[in-house]
Amino acid sequence: MTLRGSIDVLGHRRVIGWAWETDTPDIPVVVLIAVERRVLGRCRADLFREDLAVEGLGTGRCGFTLDLPVGLLSPRQDYAISVRREGDGAHLPGSPYVLAAPLRIVRAP
């Protein structure tokens, strides 16, 4: 099975992207979003996106959004975020993605 997709927005509060299975184009992919072995959330890639429909990715209903609770990920830490298909654990192309800390504490010498 060929899994296609990408992450369009990766932040400490939200993950937005798309996932599509070429062998079963009308069945939404269920994705797990995790840091190491800790699953942050699960969602179905079934949101309509016009840009994906124009590209011919099924009906375009292969987008997903996962909102993360405040404080779940520290803005002072980098993370390797994996996005995998539920069931077989296949990674979305490019996964794991690096989420860099937007805040850095620099100590004076």
Kindly list the domain boundaries of the chain, sorted by start residue: 3-99
Report how far residue 5's alpha carbon sits from residue 22's, in angstroms, rounded to the nearest whole number: 11
Report how far residue 28's alpha carbon sits from residue 59's, in angstroms, rounded to the nearest whole number: 11
For residue 105, is pLDDT > 80? no
Instruction: Find out whether 18 and 57 touch, Cβ atoms under 8 Å.
Output: yes
pLDDT digits (tens, 9 = 90+) for 47-88: 999 999 998 888 899 999 999 988 888 888 889 999 999 989
Q: In the CATH scheme, what is the code of domain 3-99?
A: 2.60.40
Six token digits for residue 90: 């296949």
What pLDDT is recorded for position 101? 85
For residue 14, is pLDDT > 90? yes
The pLDDT confidence band at residue 108, using thresholds 50, 70 and 90, is low
The pLDDT confidence band at residue 42, using thresholds 50, 70 and 90, is very high
Instruction: Find out whether 63 and 75 touch, Cβ atoms under 8 Å.
Output: no
Report how far residue 93's alpha carbon sits from residue 83's, in angstroms, rounded to the nearest whole number: 9
- Least confident piece of the model among 19-23, 32-36, 43-47, 53-57: 53-57
